[in-house]
Amino acid sequence: MENPVLNVAFIVALTAFFKEQFGLTGWKVLIAAFGVALVIAFLPLVSALVPAAAPWLDQLLQVILLVLAAAGSVDFIKQIKN
């Protein structure tokens, strides 16, 4: 994911997911957002360490990211409604 706007949207969605699923509040939410941002930033570098498996790892990571972001989007919308 090279688009910074999409990265921010994914970070917001994933943070909402972790906040809802684990009951995070206060500074723990900030740490969750920081952790998610680190993962999104460094996963492409990790997959590049194994060039033969890089395409498969990239696709696997994209699927995991999209599934968690979809669930997080639902949680984020619930938070906005309340």
Number of domains the chain contains: 1
Q: Which DSSP letter does residue 74 get? A: H
pLDDT single digits (tens) 46-57: 878 888 888 888
Q: Is 3 exposed, middle or buried (0-12, 13-18, 19+ CB in 10 A)?
A: exposed
pLDDT single digits (tens) 14-60: 888 888 888 888 888 888 888 878 887 887 788 788 888 888 888 88
> pTM surpassing 0.85?
no
pLDDT at 5 over 80: no
Domain that residue 63 falls in = 4-81
pLDDT tier for residue 1 given thresholds of 50, 70 and 90: low
